[in-house]
Amino acid sequence: MHTPTLIIGGGLSGLSLAYALERAGHAYTLVEARKRLGGRIKSLTVEGANFDLGPSWVWPGQHRVAQLANALDLQLFEQWSNGAQLFEHASGEVVQDAGFMSMAGSLRIAGGTSALTDALAARLNPAHILLDCAVTAIDDSLAAHLADGQTITADRIVLCIPPHLAATLCFTPALPDNAQAALNAIPTWMGAHAKFVAVYPTSFWRKNGLSGDASSRRGPLAEIHDASPADGSLGALFGFVGLPADIRAQAGDAVQSAALAQLENLFGPKAGTPIAAKLMDWSRDPFTATAADAAPPPGHPPYTMPAPLRRIWDDKLIFAVTEMAPDNGGLIEGALAAAEAAARKIIG
Ligand SMILES: Cc1cc2nc3c(=O)[nH]c(=O)nc-3n(C[C@H](O)[C@H](O)[C@H](O)COP(=O)(O)OP(=O)(O)OC[C@H]3O[C@@H](n4cnc5c(N)ncnc54)[C@H](O)[C@@H]3O)c2cc1C
């Protein structure tokens, strides 16, 4: 099989690149390793409502997200932050309004962040998308080899996968040492993290004057926020697990039961009995993170496109993932920025 542009990876960067090519009438094929599209954008669906297991927020001033949401008829709404915040001491004692930051001013996408990737996917020709197709090797004749033995040749190949995963592919000839080192050096944003979501019939904490924001020195959840849908049909809380990846792996299901006990301690008995709950550990997701992502970077890295990765194989091997975006690297807006830069190279 031959295609003018082979896009590897069907997360937001790959999907938005495919959308740009489709609108420009440029033929492409997108291969995605998983049986689903969206990558780090993933939801728990309960009674038709989507709850983010990956990213939740975008921010004012991120013009690509705003434009795309508008084009796809999706609404943005403000993160709920009215009411008191809670702080849980290491002893388990809970106090109100100890002065920690909420996420006030952040925006969410109505229908969950996956509404964005679902709406993009719905606008693509399904004949151009191959699911369950992991690329394992790429050679400089621009042939990509898949785990199932297929080979796809292309005029150019765009890698829309996290750099640490790109570093594990077999390139023939091998990439220059500085290019391989650059891939190894770029951490996968949020690849070390795990998120816990609990869904309730109502957002009962709001009636008790609580915002749903909480921080904890006790854990296992270090930072908790309201995750209820825009239409108020259900209530939800989510938390980032504060335990390191290796401890989470050892603890197994105990993390989930401890998280529910913690929510009950913070928000009262109703918080201990959700109608649904899910723990998503991204560090154990083989198409997001590698062992090199087990420890998070100390802060938000200054992501950019490293010089050694800029013109590989006469610029026929292009990198376009959020971690290599020209701006907003690591973020949803960065995934769109990376796709935009790649589309400019391809379409002109
Ligand atoms: C818990 C969490 C919270 C986050 N919170 C926020 C937030 O609030 N705001 C924000 O802006 N960003 C946030 N992010 C980051 C955001 O999710 C990413 O910026 C964005 O989703 C990246 O999209 P991407 O397409 O560039 O990469 P990915 O989503 O990683 O997509 C890569 C795709 O490539 C596929 N793939 C991998 N290897 C192969 C292979 N060998 N062959 C074929 N396909 C392959 C994968 O399956 C995946 O579908 C968060 C991320 C996580 C995990």
Mean pLDDT (10-residue bins), the chain, 348 residues: 98 98 97 98 98 98 98 97 95 87 90 98 98 98 97 98 98 98 98 98 97 96 97 96 96 95 98 98 98 95 96 97 98 98 95
The H helix count followed by the E strand count for the chain is 9, 19
Residues 197 and 282 placed together within one structural domain of the fold: yes
What was the pLDDT predicted at 100? 67
- pLDDT, residue 348, reads 84
From 287, 314, 330, give the residue that closes a domain: 287
Q: Does ligand 1 lie within 6 Å of residue 135's CB atom?
A: yes
60-76 as b/e, with b when 16 or more CB fall inside 10 Å?
eebebbbebbeebebeb
Strand partners, 172: 139
> In terms of domains, do 179 and 76 share one?
no
The tokens of 77 are what? 């709404």
Whether 283 and 319 map to the same domain: the answer is no
Ligand 1: nearest atom to the Cα of 195: 1
Domain final position from 260, 287, 314: 287
Q: What pLDDT, on a 0 to 100 scale, did the predictor assign at position 21?
A: 98
* DSSP 8-state code for residue 11: B
In a domain, 48, yes or no: yes
Q: Does residue 292 lie within any of the structural domains?
A: no
CB-ligand 1 contact for 11 (6 Å cutoff): yes
Same domain, 201 and 258: yes
Residue 47, CA distances (Å) to 56, 233, 303 in order:
19, 9, 38
Judge whether 294 lies within some domain.
no
Helix runs in the chain, H state only: 12-24, 63-71, 114-122, 163-166, 177-184, 204-207, 245-251, 254-267, 332-347
The answer to whether residues 213 and 265 belong to one domain is yes
pLDDT at 98: 75
* Contacts (Cβ under 8 Å, ≥6 apart) of 76: 58, 65, 66, 69, 107, 108, 109, 110
Residue 344: give its domain's CATH number: 3.50.50.60
Residue 74 lies in a domain: yes
**Residue 75 located in a structural domain:** yes
- Could you tell me the residue range of the domain that residue 134 belongs to? 1-41+114-189+300-348
What span, in angstroms and rounded, lies between the C-alpha atoms of 246 and 244? 6
The answer to whether 5 touches 27, Cβ cutoff 8 Å, is: yes
Which protein residue's CA is at the shortest distance from atom 25 of ligand 1? 11
Q: With the CA atoms of 28, 31, 32 and 38 taken in that order, what torsion angle do they form, in degrees rounded to the nearest 10?
A: 0
Split into its structural domains, the chain has a count of: 2
Q: What backbone phi and psi angles, to 5 degrees, belong to 301?
A: -65, 155
81 in any annotated domain: yes
If asked whether residues 165 and 256 sit together in one domain, one would say no
For 53-185, strand residue ranges (E) read: 76-78, 84-88, 94-96, 107-109, 129-130, 135-139, 143-146, 151-159, 170-172
| Ligand 1 in reach of 29 Cβ (< 6 A) | no
Predicted structure pTM score = 0.98
Q: Look at residue 225 and tell me if it is in a domain.
A: yes
Residue 161, domain member (yes or no): yes
Residue nearest to atom 36 of ligand 1 (CA): 9
- 105 and 208: one domain? yes
Closest ligand 1 atom to the C-alpha of 41? Answer: 21
Pair 96, 120 in one domain: no
Distance separating alpha carbons of residues 275 and 277, to the nearest angstrom? 7
Q: Are residues 232 and 144 in the same domain?
A: no
Ligand 1 atom at shortest distance from the alpha carbon of 65: 11
- Establish whether residue 30 lines the binding site of ligand 1, counting it when its CB lies within 6 angstroms of any ligand atom: no
Same domain, 33 and 156: yes
Whole-number pLDDT of residue 142: 98
Does residue 62 line the site of ligand 1, with CB under 6 A? no
Same domain, 151 and 215: no
> What CATH number is given to the structural domain containing 283?
3.90.660.10
Q: Are 204 and 330 in the same domain?
A: no
Query: What is the position in ligand 1's atom list of the atom closest to the CA of 338?
Result: 26
The finding on whether 158 has its CB within 6 A of some atom of ligand 1 is: no
